[in-house]
Amino acid sequence: MDRRSRAAHTQYYDAEASRYDESRGGADRARATAEAILRLAPPAGTDTLHLDVAGGTGSISAIMGESGFRSHVVDGSTGMLVLARARGLPSVCGDATALPFPDAAFELVTEVWLLHLLTSTAAAAAVDEIARVLAPEGTAVVSVDKQVSHGGSVLEQDHQPVVTERLARHGLATAGTATFEARSPWGAADGRVQPMFRLAAFRRP
Ligand SMILES: C[S@@+](CC[C@H](N)C(=O)[O-])C[C@H]1O[C@@H](n2cnc3c(N)ncnc32)[C@H](O)[C@@H]1O
């Protein structure tokens, strides 16, 4: 999929919603992703607030909830959010580049497989918003190499330099990476059967 406007993405994901989970690796992919996030996130205490930006159907957040996080999903597609709400997740329709939440509201902010859809300008705004809603001593976890994972095309860049440089400018320090394999319809790099994805963590002092 190319980098279209938010309206075009909304229309695309509204139409995809009912088949999204199963066609993108199903429960196994969601669990592998959540486990990779959990390797990077500090352990959840009671009421640790997590925001899943572009969280889609909530398949990843539902698993984060099993580990004690109070996960909230924000996504631009109401069709995807119907499924997140059916999982019992607080879910809000909103734009990743202008999040409908106050500053410093969440101890964990995740953004998985959004940035490759955005223009450089929108990606920069989305990264700024991660930093804005992240609480002191909070952790942000972002997917950064969808292009490499799929052996992919120029249109699947994840704006990795934008993520690293802008979060550093906001005072966040790099805090490790986690990799995981998951089934995907988009193919795999290096002759793999399944792509190997990578998440990067950043911590606010
Ligand atoms: C590839 S899906 C990933 C969904 C989820 N993170 C997952 O891994 O299952 C991309 C998601 O980004 C959402 N999205 C696209 N552009 C957005 C924007 N500007 N603001 C908020 N959500 C957006 C889509 O509606 C879709 O749910």
Q: What is the pLDDT of residue 73?
A: 98
User: Residue for token digits 């002759």?
Assistant: 191
Give the residue, out of 6, 13, 97, 119, with the most ligand 1 atoms within 8 A of its beta carbon, to mutate for a pocket test. 13
Give the pLDDT confidence score for residue 150 in this predicted structure: 67
Cα–ligand 1 centroid distance for 75 (angstroms): 6
Q: What is the pLDDT of residue 153?
A: 56
- Whether 96 is in the pocket of ligand 1, judged by its Cβ within 6 Å, is yes
Q: Answer yes or no: is the C-beta of 76 below 6 A from any ligand 1 atom.
A: yes
Distance, CA 204 to ligand 1 centroid (Å)? 24
Q: What is the pLDDT of residue 4?
A: 63
Per residue of the chain (205 residues), give pLDDT as tens: 345 677 888 999 999 999 999 998 899 999 999 999 999 999 888 889 999 999 999 999 999 999 999 999 999 999 999 999 999 999 999 999 999 999 999 999 999 999 988 988 999 999 999 999 999 999 999 998 766 666 665 445 778 889 999 999 999 999 999 999 877 777 776 777 778 899 999 999 9
Ligand 1 center–CA 115 separation, angstroms: 9
Length in residues, the chain: 205
205 C-alpha to ligand 1 centroid (Å): 28
> Is the distance from CB of 119 to CB of 87 less than 8 angstroms?
no
User: Tokens 């690293």 identify what position?
Assistant: 164
DSSP the chain: -----HHHHHHHHHHHHHHHHHHTTHHHHHHHHHHHHHHHSPPP-TTEEEEEET-TTSHHHHHHHHTTEEEEEEES-HHHHHHHHHTT--EEE-BTTB-SS-TT-EEEEEE-S-GGGS-HHHHHHHHHHHHHHEEEEEEEEEE--HHHHTT--GGG---HHHHHHHHHHTTPEEEEEEEEE---TT--STT-SS-EEEEEEEE--
Ligand 1 pocket residue status of 156, Cβ below 6 Å: no
Task: Note the pLDDT of residue 190.
Answer: 72
Give me the amino acid identity at 160.
Q
pLDDT of amino acid 182:
79
Q: Whose CA is nearest to atom 27 of ligand 1?
A: 56
Find residue 180's DSSP bridge partners: 197
Domain edges within the chain: 6-203
Q: Does ligand 1 have an atom closer than 6 angstroms to the CB of 13?
A: yes
Contact of 96 with 102, CB cutoff 8 Å: no
Q: State the distance from the centre of ligand 1 to the C-alpha of 74, rounded, in angstroms.
A: 9
CA of 94 to the centre of ligand 1 (A): 10
Taking domain 6-203, whether its CATH number is 3.40.50.150 is answered by yes
User: What torsion do the CA atoms of 22, 8, 120, 80 make, to the nearest 10 degrees?
Assistant: -40
Q: pTM here?
A: 0.93
